[in-house]
Amino acid sequence: MLFEGISRLKGIRQKQAPAFTLLAFKRIIRSIEAKTRAGLRDRMTLLPGFTGAFRRSELTALNIEDLAFLEEGLLISLAKNKTNQFGAAEEKTIFYSPNARLCLIRTLRAWLARLDRVKGPVFVSFRKMSI
């Protein structure tokens, strides 16, 4: 009891997990085989969130019509979100990565080719994908 009181008074350093590094992220993405449907889905789950700093709610609300592929990269138009409650125009630009395995744009193009459609949600279940 005495030590608990001293800990409350003085404070103690909490145990903290090590930070997730860019190097660890790259290693994970490179290890995912994008030739399989599940691997492509896994890359598409991780890359946009990290590359574009998207919230989960923004990713699930993302439609193919919100994407504009440009020569320099990708322009993503966002509807309302947590910090944009009134739906003011908001766009994010993503540029090509020199490493094809880490490139969100190339992965997104492969994912959309697999979906085989031009409108609707970007993230769908496997049942809605062509094989």
pLDDT at residue 85 in the model: 61
pLDDT at residue 87 in the model: 59
**Is the pLDDT score of 36 beyond 80?**
yes
> What's the whole-number average pLDDT of the chain?
84
β-pairing, 90-95 with 67-69? unpaired
Phi, psi of 81 (to 5 degrees): -145, -170
Average pLDDT score over residue span 103-107: 94
**Is the pLDDT score of 28 beyond 70?**
yes
Average pLDDT score over residue span 30-59: 88
Angle (CA) 50-43-22 rounded to 5° is 40
To which residue do tokens 């190339």 refer?
Answer: 106
d(CA 95, CA 20): 23
d(CA 106, CA 26): 15
Our measurement of the distance from residue 7's CA atom to the centroid of its chain's CA atoms, rounded to an integer in Å, reads 40
Question: Which of residues 131 and 64 earns the better pLDDT score?
Answer: 64
Would you give the end-to-end CA distance of the chain in angstroms?
Answer: 63
Average pLDDT score over residue span 110-127: 87
Average pLDDT score over residue span 16-36: 89
pLDDT at residue 88 in the model: 62
Average pLDDT score over residue span 65-73: 94
